Amino acid sequence: MTKGLCLLALLASTSGYAQQGFLPLSRTVDAPYTALMHGSKVAAHSAIRPYLREDLQALPGADTALAPEWKPWLERMTDPTNRWHGGPLLDALAGASSGEREVLKYRLGAGGWLEWNAHPRWTLGVNAQAWTETLPNYLDRWAYVQEVTPGEGYAHRGGDGITHYDWNAYADYKAGEYFHLTLGKGRNAIGEGYRSLFLSDEAYSYPFFKITTTAWHIRYMNLFTLMDDIRGADGDPAQFAKKFTSMHYLSWNISKRVNVGLFEAIVWQDNDPKYPRGFDISYVNPVIFYRPVEFGLGSPDNALLGVALNVKVGARTQLYSQVILDEFLLSHVREGDGWYGNKQGAQLGAVSHDPFGVKGLMLRGELNYVRPFMYTHTDSRQNYAHHGQPLAHPYGSGFVEGLVQGEWRKGPWLVSNIFSWTLMGQDTAFGPERNNGNNIFLSDSDRPLLADGTKKDFGYIIGDPVQATVIQNEIRVGCLLEPRSGLMLECAWTFRSETSEVLPDRLSNYLRLGLSANLHQRHLFQTVR
């Protein structure tokens, strides 16, 4: 009898594990958990994503947050309490985009994901997917200029379509009670908004090492990454210029209703001929502020500072905000003279769950404001970008955006709508040598020249030199087949209008229907600056 009980205990220990590792960085997957974290009686660090699965287990209602699987065998495959769990990633979408030379569109992709709870403290995960597709004109034009598919890798062209691939992996170790050490290739995000002015998941995956420290009411994240500048490399990874980033984010739950976040980041190169220092060990210090270090090195690098304030009101509503600073002189701000060196951005938003008593409904309103030249640098290789995309907001700098989002879930069904109105400036019509602060891939020293031959320092406002308005709306109806990876049947329509003072108006109506994998977020809000 005793031997039998011991055997049963051994089998239980090898077949069932506490949920470990990270949730996929996808709003399709993690939105139900975000709603729980925003409850007024919960103190969680919901601004740091992807979420640790161990954080989710303590949330009231977490065990019923996800819709049931389409088939029982999918439930068994993907259950994170199993030592091995995973599933397929498939895309098979057919669509049409009206008014274009090639009206019919398609997206075909295949891959899979797998995680291994190797030990109560060790979790390893990997996922990979490859695609071939034809894009609507506005995205195809953007992919041609930036050389990448949004968030999904380098765009290799063949005929009318493009092929691309993405792979991610991580190994996470829980070191004692307070620390998680994570080595991997993937994406991270910081912020409560639909957008983030600190760090978003817009760009392609990157190698990183992350230290997550949780003690008392504080969570502190150190993120060290290796980024790529792919310009001029013609898709050859061996020719990509390398740069490093180090980021800190401190999240402090002052109470269950009030959270404050402090953010800092530094971007530097290992091959700057003026500062040939390789990997700078000065920025590895996990607790020091980077700005004093950067000034101590002669200020060669790109440093950012930010603060966030998030306040819960009522039962399940959260007000959130971010302020990001690159460079700042209060005297010029007071004068309102449009000095190019005043590089700031701000976000203000509110998100409500189950408003008006409607179970499963989420409503969001958000305003994003980013001044010209934000995220740029004198050495354009040290901009706040990776693999052809901004690391924060997809529009980079020099814009104001109003965004409204609504989503309703019931069982496996999902209905969502996202509307964005953006006023921005465009540099494209003036050529790459004229930087008016809208394109973060240009140097902030390549400003227009005045009549006396000096560079223009003042008068930079949003909407210059060419004002453009972008209106984009996406509505999606889906049925989740496998909610842990976001595999779903969907029908979606994207409407986009771009009007400009000098360039022709552009209009897109992009309709698609089929099977889609949403393990990672898709990013269809893009525009050439």
Q: Domain segments of the chain: what residues? A: 25-516
State which amino acid sits at residue 19. Q
pTM beyond 0.75: yes
Q: What is the reported pLDDT for 165?
A: 96
Q: What is the reported pLDDT for 429?
A: 52
206, 267 Cβ separation under 8 angstroms: no
Asked whether the predicted pLDDT for residue 14 surpasses 90, the reply is no
How much of the chain exceeds pLDDT 70, in percent? 91
Q: What is the reported pLDDT for 51?
A: 97
| Mean pLDDT, rounded, of the chain | 90
- Rounded CA gap, 92 and 480, in Å? 15
Provide φ and ψ at 144, rounded to 5°: -65, -45
pLDDT per position as a tens digit, 313-338? 999 999 999 999 988 777 777 788 88
Angstrom distances, CA of residue 337 to CA of 94, 293, 396:
50, 30, 22
| Average pLDDT rounded to a whole number, residues 213-229 | 96
* Residue, of 198 and 299, whose pLDDT is higher: 198
- Rounded CA gap, 450 and 176, in Å? 60
Q: What is the reported pLDDT for 19?
A: 79
Angstrom distances, CA of residue 173 to CA of 170, 177, 245, 334:
10, 11, 22, 49
| Average pLDDT rounded to a whole number, residues 267-276 | 67
Strand partners, 7: none
Q: What confidence tier does 86 reach under pLDDT thresholds 50, 70, 90?
A: very high
Of 250, 232, 253, give the one whose Cα is nearest residue 241.
Answer: 232
- CB under 8 Å to 215, separation ≥6 — which residues? 178
Q: What is the reported pLDDT for 99?
A: 85
State which amino acid sits at residue 445. S
Burial, 434: exposed, middle or buried (Cβ in 10 Å; 0-12, 13-18, 19+)? middle
Q: What is the reported pLDDT for 17?
A: 61
Q: What is the reported pLDDT for 337?
A: 86
Q: What is the reported pLDDT for 197?
A: 98
pLDDT per position as a tens digit, 354-372? 999 999 999 999 999 999 9
The residue assigned the tokens 């060196």 is 341
CATH class of domain segment(s) 25-516: mainly beta
